[in-house]
Amino acid sequence: MNLFVANISRKVKDDALKALFEKFGEVTSAKVIHDKFTNESKGFGFVEMANEAEASDAIEKLTNADFFGRSLVVSKARPK
């Protein structure tokens, strides 16, 4: 399941985001989105989890959780 993660601190890198979600199950990818001109974080990203039940658990437990001083918003990502 692909998850949308918003309100990410600008200090967070891909590996830190992946480590956070690995507490809930297998993460196949984690990516913080950056501006292509300035290379600064846009404050959101995507996490792909292999198991839907684990992803649902992560959504439930990480929504409004404090991560690097910010309250995360986690939801199922909409299709492109």
Please tell me the class of the 2-76 domain. alpha beta
Residue 80 pLDDT greater than 80, yes or no: no
Q: How many residues does the chain have?
A: 80
- pLDDT-derived band at 65, boundaries 50, 70, 90: very high
Q: What is the pLDDT of residues 13-62, one digit of tens each?
A: 999 999 999 999 999 999 999 999 999 999 999 999 999 999 999 999 99
Look at residue 3 in the predicted model and tell me its pLDDT.
98
Other beta carbons within 10 angstroms of residue 55's beta carbon come to 23
Q: Are 69 and 9 in contact (CB under 8 A)?
A: yes
**Helical (H) or strand (E) element with 4:** strand 2-6
Q: What is the DSSP letter of 69?
A: T
Look at residue 79 in the predicted model and tell me its pLDDT.
84
Q: Are 69 and 11 in contact (CB under 8 A)?
A: no
Flag whether the pTM goes above 0.85.
Answer: yes
Domain ranges of the chain: 2-76
